[in-house]
Amino acid sequence: MERLLVNPEKFFEKVVKEDVKEAWKYMAYWALLPSLVAIIAIGFLDVPLGGYVAMPTWLGDLVLGGMPLAGVSLGVATGIAIYLGIFIGVFITSIVAHAVASVMKGRGKFEDTLQAVIYGTSPFYAFGWLPIFGPLFGLYSVLVQVPGFKALHRTKYVKSVLIVLGTLLLIGVLTGIMPILTGVFATGYHPGIVVNGIKGIITLMLV
């Protein structure tokens, strides 16, 4: 993580030679941090679920809305949901990103896209829960993916930027319509769909 934050270009030059299994191990480790924070904050400090920055409110409602949980049980359930959600979000994001990269004539395989997304988004899914600084890590995660796609898909910077922006756009569309498709529209949350869609872009890019 330190090498990624300080010198992302050099970091991704080494990642090119790695097996994708190392990226999954890396994510399994760092995804624990926001999950543990959620367990402590929600389960023991009574922080409201909707105020937890690492999970869009519609996702929290969808996953946990029908579960009669409180206190520690709610914290543990939220922590597990966030941990699994990071894996699901990264995988979905990688599918979208790989489609965009293919259109942009990227030369990497799907495994290369996974590495770019897993490592590139790790500053946010690891530290996005921090007050004030969380959004900054989200922005940095977007920026860090550019050298990631450049190295792993062997493209120029312009194409790498377009891949990241194109993925952001498509993820934004998906997260914007997902609440409607899952029935959240009917619960009265439709005024917040746009806002939650924007939060979803950052969370699932997870960009």
Are 78 and 64 in contact by the 8 Å Cβ rule? The answer is yes
CA 200/CA 189 separation, integer angstroms: 15
CA 41/CA 36 separation, integer angstroms: 8
Q: CB within 8 A of 165, min separation 6: which ones?
A: none
Looking at beta carbons, which pairs linking 155-160 to residues 24 or more positions away fall under 8 Å? 155/101, 155/104, 155/105, 155/106, 155/107, 159/104, 159/105, 159/106
Angle subtended by helix axes 157-181 and 134-152, to nearest 10 = 130
pLDDT of the residue at 66: 52
pLDDT of the residue at 46: 66
- Residues with pLDDT less than 50, the chain: 51-59, 62, 68, 179-202, 204-207
Rounded to 10 degrees, the C-alpha dihedral 97/193/35/136 comes to 70
Task: Count CB-CB contacts under 10 A for residue 33.
Answer: 16
Q: What's the burial of 132, exposed, middle or buried (CB within 10 Å: 0-12/13-18/19+)?
A: exposed
pLDDT of the residue at 171: 81
Nearest to 79 by CA among 90, 94, 69: 69
CA 32/CA 87 separation, integer angstroms: 11
pLDDT of the residue at 49: 53
Supply the pTM of this predicted model: 0.75
pLDDT of the residue at 147: 94
Enter the tokens of residue 170.
Answer: 């498509």
Rounded to 10 degrees, the C-alpha dihedral 125/127/133/139 comes to -30
- In tens, the pLDDT along 115-134 reads 999 999 999 888 988 888 88
Give the dihedral sign, CA 188/62/51/178. Answer: negative
